[in-house]
Structure 1
Amino acid sequence: MTVELISVGTEILLGNIVNTNAAYLAEKIALLGLSCYHQSAVGDNEERLEDAIRLALSRSDIVILSGGLGPTKDDLTKEVTAKVFGRELYEDAHSKERIQAYFDRRRAQGREITANNWKQALVPEGAIVVDNYNGTAPGIILEDKENGKTAILLPGPPNEIRPMFERDIAPYLNKLQPEGIYSKMVKICSIGESQAETMVADLMDAQSNPTLAPYAKTGEVHFRVTAKAADEETACRLMEPMLQELKKRFGDYIYTMDEEVTLEEAVVDMLRERQMTVTTAESCTGGLLAGRIMNVPGASSVYREGYITYSNEAKEKLLGVEHQTLETVGAVSPETAEQMARGAARQAGADAALAVTGIAGPDGGTPEKPVGLVYIGCCVQGRIRVEEFHFTGNRSKNRDYAVVRALTLLREELLRDQTQAEIR
């Protein structure tokens, strides 16, 4: 069964927004075991949108359109799709009630219904209406059973399309197949993509059902194990030997087998389990590391305070980095990273500390200290470790990599601390 994606909106064509919906939907469709051979983006133009829909329906079984379901005149997706399917629009009472309730809840914030909002309550005849729990535009499933064609219309905002897809569209698509597709994720840090893939090359060469696929992330590698089966229980039995083999081969490199858990969540959980606190001292990352930790709900139980010490003066004043160190070896050095980590732990009274100092770019590099050189210091219970990294991305990418490497380094040291405690 083939699916085609059409992203609707002139703002996509102009580059005003990044089309994250297409990437999200493509990944989800693949995980459902559906084929996607074409994607397109079309502006808010009736004629061009109609051509795009007709072309997609001529070569695919299902067309998923995202965007163009808003209340304004240039939102044409619903109207044009209804025209292609030969259906009239009518006002859906259920959708109208939900729109009314949505604005009633927001009246205190000054949100009032305008006449064009009722446009979103219009749906094509015979359509399946999908409730939107995060906005006003309902999703629509329009089936042409005689020709075996289906159009699925979804709202454009990511915070609306994603929960709607997970809640209603994915189960709908899964029922269209005799067998469902089920998957598990294994997330790995501390080793690179090439090494990780080499470690499972034989498994990938011999795969059939389940299958194993690697995904490179910033500073991480994710492996998705996918099985096709009549039900989830059968799929889990098929995947279990593969999952156990991955555990055997990667061991502590695996930080989670839960798709929803992030690296920072795994690290915060480790700190919480050990009843330990952490602090951060950042130069080139400028608070990104602290921000990643703060993204974790409940991080306040392990994180109390942090330091952004961009200048040498701040490193001396807030962290106690020695002036002589900065004068002789410079701010970007293993010595400075060590003193930053020790100083942060001391000042915050924390069990652990991470320190980052480096040259993110694009300027500031020298032959001796090029752009991308970063030193990360980690102090756990007074034990210090400093690592040197050479990143090759732009300024933003170098900072992102530094954050991931810092979290990975802390995780490694917490594991080492646990191993030593068990030996004792």
Structure 2
Amino acid sequence: MNSEIIAVGSELLLGQIANTNGQFLSQQLAPLGINVYYHTVVGDNKLRLQEAIKQAKKRANLIIITGGLGPTKDDLTKETVAELLNCSLVYHEPSMEQIESFFKNSKRPMTENNKKQALVINTATVLNNDNGMAPGMAIYHEGVHYMLLPGPPKELKPMFINYGQAYLIANLHEQAVIHSRVLRFFGIGEAKLEEVLIDLIEFQSNPTIAPLAGDGEVMLRLTAKHNDKAKALLLLDELEAKIQTRVGKFLYGYDDTSLMKELVNRLLAKKLTIASAESLTGGMFSQELTDFSGVSEVFSSGVVSYSNEMKEKILSVSKNTLAEYGAVSSECAIEMAQGVKKLCETDIGISFTGVAGPNQHEGKNVGTIYIGVALPNGESKSFSLNLSGTRWQIRERTVKFGCYYLLKEL
């Protein structure tokens, strides 16, 4: 089954809201073995919606349309679909009773146009709306399944999960389902990763490999299609094992995790406490760390020591170190990490110093970075980087590298 998702709403085209429904539906359809080949967004215009549906019919046997089921004049989805399919609209009495009950219980007058929400296509399987008024519907016509869902995500998501999925499963022409696994890598570029795995990528069939890149990381989405989940997972395991032998040292996690999340989990598992000393990152490490619940068990404190004076006064960085090597140096990074570890009485200290730009500092080029770590065993290390990008990108990537290096050390 090949599908197309059509989102209806001029507010989507104007950028007033994001099309999160399309993302959600794609995520839900993949495990059912339904291919999503196109996402279309069209405004509240009957002629353009008709054209979008006609185009979708040429390339999909499942068309899911979201939005346009409400009570106003610009809500025209079901009217347009009914006309294209040469069907009529009829009142769905249970939905009408639900709408009337809502207004009665809320002690608000029910306007005439609200009755419109209870209209459904006469040949449709009705999908109940347990969180709103307008029901959804599913129609099979001339080899194509149509599914109409409300626009508000709080209505669409439970409707699809509770009723839409069951309809699709009952009408699937094949029972094979899709199983995916995302491998997350750091410390290797997208081009290099692809070069190392090029033979696996070029000769893929089942499972498939899709390289993805974003936010300084690289991901591989492995996808297997099989009607037996255990066999599908075995296919994924076998492919991952081949990948691991080549680039396993850069793999840090799976699916929706992140470097910071993995670091928090590692610290919690080992019951290790940490404190941070930040110069160029200005508290970004501490901010991202404290986004996770339960982090208070491991995170003690963060010090933003931007000036050399504060590096000396708060973190006990030696005046001689600053004079001889400068604040942007391996030596300073190590003393910052040691200083914050001692100050906060933690197991680990981590520090960030460098040049985020836009100009040189201490004769060091933009992107010159030093990360220091003071470890539980008393050992201290520094890591140097030469990063490129905007000021924000350099700072963001510096935090990621700090997480990555510390994960490796732990």
TM-score > 0.5 by shorter chain: yes
User: Quick one: structure 1 residues 344 and 128, their matched pair in 2 at CA, closer, same or farther if it must change by over 3 Å?
Assistant: farther
Equivalences, count: 403
CA contact (8 A) 1:82 1:89 kept: no
CA contact (8 A) 1:93 1:121 kept: no
Unaligned segments of structure 1, at least 5 residues: 415-424
Question: How far apart, in 1, do the equivalents of 2:12 and 2:288 lie?
Answer: 29
Matched ranges for 1:300-379 at <5 A: 300-322=296-318, 325-326=321-322, 329-361=325-357, 363-365=358-360, 368-379=363-374
Question: How far apart, in 1, do the equivalents of 2:161 and 2:283 lie?
Answer: 33
Q: CA deviation at 1:252?
A: 4.6
Q: Does 1:229 align with 2:226?
A: yes
**Please, which of 259, 273, 279 is the counterpart of residue 277 of structure 1?**
273
Q: CA deviation at 1:267?
A: 1.7
- 2:63 equivalent in structure 1: 63
CA contact (8 A) 1:138 1:155 kept: no
Query: Which amino acid in 2 is paired with 1:253?
Result: F
Question: How far apart, in 2, do the equivalents of 1:378 and 1:348 lie?
Answer: 14
CA contact (8 A) 2:327 2:353 kept: yes
- 1:144 equivalent in structure 2: 140
Q: CA deviation at 1:408?
A: 0.7
Matched ranges for 1:22-421 at <5 A: 22=22, 25=25, 33-68=33-68, 74-85=74-85, 86-88=87-89, 90=91, 93=94, 115=110, 122=118, 124-125=120-121, 126-129=124-127, 131=129, 136=132, 140-157=136-153, 173=168, 176-178=172-174, 179-257=176-254, 259-322=255-318, 325-326=321-322, 329-361=325-357, 363-365=358-360, 368-381=363-376, 382-414=378-410
Q: Does 1:4 align with 2:4?
A: yes
Q: CA deviation at 1:180?
A: 1.4
CA contact (8 A) 1:332 1:375 kept: yes
Question: How far apart, in 2, do the equivalents of 1:286 and 1:89 lie?
Answer: 62
Write the deviation string for residues 305-344 of structure 1: whole angstroms up to 9, x where unpaired. Answer: 2233344454444433445555665544433333332222
User: Quick one: structure 1 residues 367 and 271, their matched pair in 2 at CA, closer, same or farther if it must change by over 3 Å?
Assistant: closer
Q: CA deviation at 1:289?
A: 2.2
User: Quick one: structure 1 residues 17 and 233, their matched pair in 2 at CA, closer, same or farther if it must change by over 3 Å?
Assistant: same
- Between the aligned residues of both structures, percent identity stands at 34
Q: CA deviation at 1:130?
A: 5.6
CA contact (8 A) 1:280 1:354 kept: yes
- What secondary structure is seen at the aligned counterpart in 2 of 1:53? helix
Write the deviation string for residues 144-202 of structure 1: whole angstroms up to 9, x where unpaired. Answer: 24442323425354x77667666765675566241211222322333332333333333
Query: Which amino acid in 2 is paired with 1:246?
Result: I
Greater Cα radius of gyration, structure 1 or 2: 2
CA contact (8 A) 1:174 1:180 kept: no
Write the deviation string for residues 349-390 of structure 1: whole angstroms up to 9, x where unpaired. Answer: 2212332234445x3346954444433222222322222333
Q: CA deviation at 1:266?
A: 1.9
User: Quick one: structure 1 residues 185 and 38, their matched pair in 2 at CA, closer, same or farther if it must change by over 3 Å?
Assistant: closer
CA contact (8 A) 2:99 2:133 kept: no
- What secondary structure is seen at the aligned counterpart in 1 of 2:187? coil
User: Quick one: structure 1 residues 366 and 266, their matched pair in 2 at CA, closer, same or farther if it must change by over 3 Å?
Assistant: closer
- What secondary structure is seen at the aligned counterpart in 2 of 1:239? helix
Question: How far apart, in 1, do the equivalents of 2:48 and 2:134 lie?
Answer: 23
Question: How far apart, in 2, do the equivalents of 1:375 and 1:202 lie?
Answer: 36
CA contact (8 A) 1:96 1:118 kept: no
**Displaced runs of 4 or more, over 6 A:** 98-101
- What secondary structure is seen at the aligned counterpart in 2 of 1:142? strand
CA contact (8 A) 1:372 1:398 kept: yes
CA contact (8 A) 1:57 1:149 kept: no
Query: Normalising by the residue count of structure 1, what TM-score does the alignment of the two structures yield?
Result: 0.77
Query: Normalising by the residue count of structure 2, what TM-score does the alignment of the two structures yield?
Result: 0.79
CA contact (8 A) 1:2 1:62 kept: yes
- What secondary structure is seen at the aligned counterpart in 1 of 2:15? coil
User: Quick one: structure 1 residues 211 and 321, their matched pair in 2 at CA, closer, same or farther if it must change by over 3 Å?
Assistant: same
Write the deviation string for residues 264-292 of structure 1: whole angstroms up to 9, x where unpaired. Answer: 22222211221101222333433332233
Question: How far apart, in 2, do the equivalents of 1:206 and 1:171 lie?
Answer: 35
Query: Which amino acid in 1 is paired with 2:127?
Result: V
